[in-house]
Amino acid sequence: MSDTWPLNVDAKSPNDPVFVGIGEIPSGKYPQRTFIGDLTKVAILALKDAGMVPRDVDTILLIPCLHGFTDQADLVFSRMVEELGLAGHAKASFMIHSGGSTSDNAVRAASGLIASGHARTVLVLQCERWGSADVMEMINSLSKNGIPGEWELPTGVQFNAIGGLITQRYMASTGSTPAEMASVCVALRDWAQLNPNAMYRGKKLTVEQVLASRMASDPLHVMECPMLADGAAAFVMTSAENAKKRGLDTTVRVAGSGGCVSHYSIGQENDLAALGWATAAKRAYAQSGWGPKDAQFGEIYDSYAAVTTIAVEGFGICEPGEGARWFAAGNASPGGKFPCNTNGGLLSAGHTGVGGGTALLVEGVRQLLGRAESERQIKNAQRCIIGGSGGSYMDAQVLLLERTGKGGAK
């Protein structure tokens, strides 16, 4: 960790895009909730957090759902403009999609619109109903979509199998043990105990329980696979100038951004034990001028433990080959040297489809704004590393966030 705290970074220009508010509702199985109802609720929560009302928004940027075509069509055809009373007022409403890395790319799109003057305030919305959807339909979807039909689908490759392949390769490459891999799940579950929105809050987990659970896709046990959940999250971005005019002294800016799209078919990935994380991080660090030692925490995509252990190595947070052992030593856990996935991640807060990455991004902004619950709030949170990945881990996306102003986390 850098010893230059506090930095009290200022926005670099009047049009510098900044985060000013976030909203989220509990993840889990909530059949009584509705898709549009959840989207509307998180929109209002995010705007209230930013000290705004719907009419302050001129652009809505939507993150897609995976549970059903009808709800997806409502998003595409601008229903949320009408729900929020913005008909005739909103400049644009549109969707971006890149799987689990969508939120990273949504931030880039919103930032570009604000910096160029095409938008002043952008509301980004996400909702998923995976937990309440028909189970067989979801199984079929995750067994087919994004899997190459010509070469891999006939062999039985699906997403748990892909997770298993990555985990096998990582364990063979690093000598990591099953217990060390399971420790990642335990660390995230510990964070979930502190998050009122987490699906598995109140359900503690041990390494022994993970290893005793049924084998899902060797070497992955059931408790090493994410549970499909309902959930919704939102965030608000505006220009630094607008934030200042509104008296928002503490905001969050994007200091650096990097990405690497490495493959479509998992069979074409050159190194399953590396993926594209190191390349993406290098590009982000070069843009920001700071690196892993300058950040206080990370929010990194974790649909399977190996995806995250590979990332912390690629980001330079720990030594190469030591990711699983680094987690097992408690470094990422509550009270650890470098907290990771402080909401519980996909593995314990709940896998809300494309929104899993959105929830991690929202948690990063929450921490930097100093708005997490006291027992979960990271002290002196100034900088954060965000990592997202979509599809069959086809890409690695990195956002480097930093707090601006003098307020926020203490």
For 55-103, what is each residue's pLDDT tens digit? 999 999 999 999 999 999 999 999 999 999 999 999 999 999 999 999 9
pLDDT of residue 10: 60
pLDDT higher than threshold 90 for residue 5:
no
Closest among 367, 128, 80 to 250, alpha carbons compared: 367
- Rounded to whole angstroms, how far apart are CA atoms 242 and 246? 6
Provide the residue type at 135 as one letter: V
* Structure confidence at residue 3 (pLDDT): 36
Helix (H) or strand (E) holding 55: none
Secondary structure (3-state) at 47? helix
At 381, is the secondary structure helix, strand, or coil?
A: coil
Residue ranges per structural domain of the chain: 17-133+230-245
Q: Read off the tokens for 143.
A: 């067994």
Amino acid at residue number 206: T
The CATH T-level fold of domain 17-133+230-245 is Peroxisomal Thiolase; Chain A, domain 1 (3.40.47)
- How confident is the model at residue 156, as a pLDDT? 86
Q: How confident is the model at residue 200 (pLDDT cuts 50, 70, 90)?
A: very high
The pLDDT value given to residue 138: 85
pLDDT at 410 over 70: no
The tokens describing 96, both together, are 């971006």
HSE of 279, CA atoms in CB hemisphere, 13 A? 10
Identify which of 254, 256, 388, 381 has the alpha carbon closest to the alpha carbon of residue 311: 388
Tens digits of per-residue pLDDT, 303-352?
A: 999 999 999 999 999 999 999 999 999 999 999 999 999 999 999 999 99
Convert 305-323 to b/e letters by CB count within 10 Å (16 or more is b): bbbbbbbbbbbbbbeebbb
Torsion of CA 225, 227, 233, 239, to 10 degrees: 10
User: How far is it, in rounded angstroms, from Cα 25 to Cα 10?
Assistant: 31
Q: Give 359's pLDDT tier (boundaries 50, 70, 90).
A: very high
Q: Where are the beta strands (DSSP E) in 206-293?
A: 215-217, 220-221, 230-239, 251-261
Q: Please give the share of the chain, as a percent, with pLDDT higher than 70.
A: 96
**Which residue is it, tokens 């010509």?**
150
d(CA 178, CA 221): 10
- The stretch 129-149 carries a mean pLDDT of 87
User: pLDDT of 273-305, one tens digit each?
Assistant: 999 999 999 999 999 999 999 999 999 999 999
Query: Cα–Cα distance between 168 and 24 in angstroms, integer?
Result: 35
Q: Cα 221 from chain centroid? A: 23
237 alpha-carbon distance from chain centroid? 16
For residues 65 and 54, the answer to whether their CB atoms sit within 8 Å is: no
260 has pLDDT over 80: yes
Q: How far apart are CA 243 and CA 19, in angstroms?
A: 9
pTM equals 0.95
Tokens (6 digits) for 100: 């689990």
Per-residue pLDDT, 407: 54
Q: Which pair of structure tokens corresponds to residue 209?
A: 């329980």
- Give the confidence band of 4 by pLDDT, cuts at 50, 70, 90: very low
Chain centroid to Cα 223, Å, comes to: 20
CA atoms of 24 and 39, how far apart (whole Å): 10
In the predicted structure, residue 2 carries a pLDDT above the cut 90: no
Query: Which DSSP state fits 344?
Result: -
pLDDT at 79: 97
